Structure 1
Amino acid sequence: MAHDILHSPIGLNDDVIDAGGDSVRVTMVITRLSDAYSVDIDLWELPTQALPAGSWS
């Protein structure tokens, strides 16, 4: 999903901005994920800085 919007492969440890993303594209990815998996993802609760993979659990 993210690849369709960012036009670049991205993994858990990748920086979205470095992959060509911006706030609008990140919002688009979050919206598509929310719709596809029927979950509510609050953008304001996402971290504002990079975290190691697995640290959200």
Structure 2
Amino acid sequence: MGKTRFKVERTFGGIKLWFKVGIARYRGMKKMHTQNLMEAMCYNLYRSPGIFASNCKN
């Protein structure tokens, strides 16, 4: 697996584990899209302190 693909797969794997993405909480494409966006935003907020800290060290 390439480095780029690994980063992408790891991201979606983390979201799947943390938020149980395979389970639909809502019916309808718009509501599911909103659920997916909210999960992605939460994932980014959860990871942001570590990302900022690693960038500040350099």
Q: TM-score, normalised by structure 1?
A: 0.31
Structure with the higher fraction of residues in helix conformation = 2
Between structure 1 and structure 2, the one with the greater Rg is: 2
Q: TM-score, normalised by structure 2?
A: 0.31
Work out which structure has the larger RCO, using CA pairs closer than 8 Å and 6 or more positions apart in sequence. Answer: 1
